[in-house]
Amino acid sequence: MMTGYTGYYILIGAISLVSWLVSNQLKRKFKKYSQVHLRNGMSGAEIAEKMLADHGITDVKVISAKGQLTDHYNPRDKTVNLSEVVYNQRNAAAAAVSAHEVGHAVQHATAYSYLTMRSKLVPVVQITSSMSQWVVFGGIALMASNAIGAMGQWVAIAGLAMMSFATLFSVITLPVEYDASNRALAWLKNKNMVTPDEYKGSEDALKWAARTYLVAAIGAIASLLYWALQVFGGRD
């Protein structure tokens, strides 16, 4: 065990750096593929609507959302929300994003197990994620007391349990996002919605988008392990 957890501080720093690099690369990729205009002339909204229709989904609406990187599927009101740029633009990046978000709608319609699991975790994570670290901090502080140290450890363990829900959420998000991208790319290719060059752009853009979730999951796991080591006597 490394004194002072130097290795874990390095790990956390490395993950932050990798996250920044991946995020910047993703922005560059989307900027690049936003210049690859679709030969079919369809906008992101039109592509989303066609993909929904091709999958027999008639109860999901495609709407425009304000802001950038605000694209998402809302299972509660069954809406595919596309940022204004994606909604209106007619390029490989817009095709990739709109088809990916419809991929989530297809998951919902087919009761994809990992999406169902993630949806069930949402209310739990909303409650526990904001307070879990503070509970761990409080428990560790109490552990320093000779009188109530044992109780402090139980408080810290409760905080770790709360933190584990957010970590599980990040891990489950990976198959959900990768599967949505795979559904999107398969549909774009099988329905001849894009040319080979346009397809490569869409595939590359979604690949980098998925990597942001991968880095986030690794970061969540590393953070949970770090605090677990603090609670269970990691300090020499």
Catalytic residues: 101
Instruction: Select from 214, 224, 123 the least CA-distant residue to 176.
Output: 214
The rounded distance, in Å, linking the Cα atoms of 47 and 202 is: 13
The rounded distance, in Å, linking the Cα atoms of 208 and 197 is: 17
61-65, strands of its sheet edge to edge: 61-65, 79-83, 72-74
User: How much is the pTM?
Assistant: 0.87
The rounded distance, in Å, linking the Cα atoms of 154 and 140 is: 10
Question: Which pLDDT belongs to residue 1?
Answer: 38
Question: Which pLDDT belongs to residue 156?
Answer: 93
Other CB atoms within 10 A of residue 112 CB: 19
The rounded distance, in Å, linking the Cα atoms of 40 and 58 is: 23
Cα dihedral: 110, 111, 114, 118 (round 10): 130
- Write the DSSP symbol of residue 68: S
> pLDDT per position in the chain (236 positions), as tens?
344 457 667 878 888 899 999 999 999 999 999 999 999 999 999 999 999 999 999 999 999 999 888 999 999 999 999 999 999 999 999 999 999 999 999 999 999 999 999 999 999 999 998 899 899 989 988 888 766 768 988 999 999 999 999 999 999 999 999 999 999 999 999 999 999 999 999 999 999 999 999 999 999 998 898 889 888 874 44
SS3 state at 83: strand
The HSE-up count of residue 125 (CA atoms within 13 Å, CB side) is 16
Helix (H) or strand (E) holding 212: helix 196-231
Question: Which pLDDT belongs to residue 141?
Answer: 87
Tell me: the pLDDT tens digits for 155-181?
999 999 999 999 999 999 999 999 999
Specify whether the CB–CB gap between 170 and 216 falls below 8 A.
yes
Question: Which pLDDT belongs to residue 148?
Answer: 76
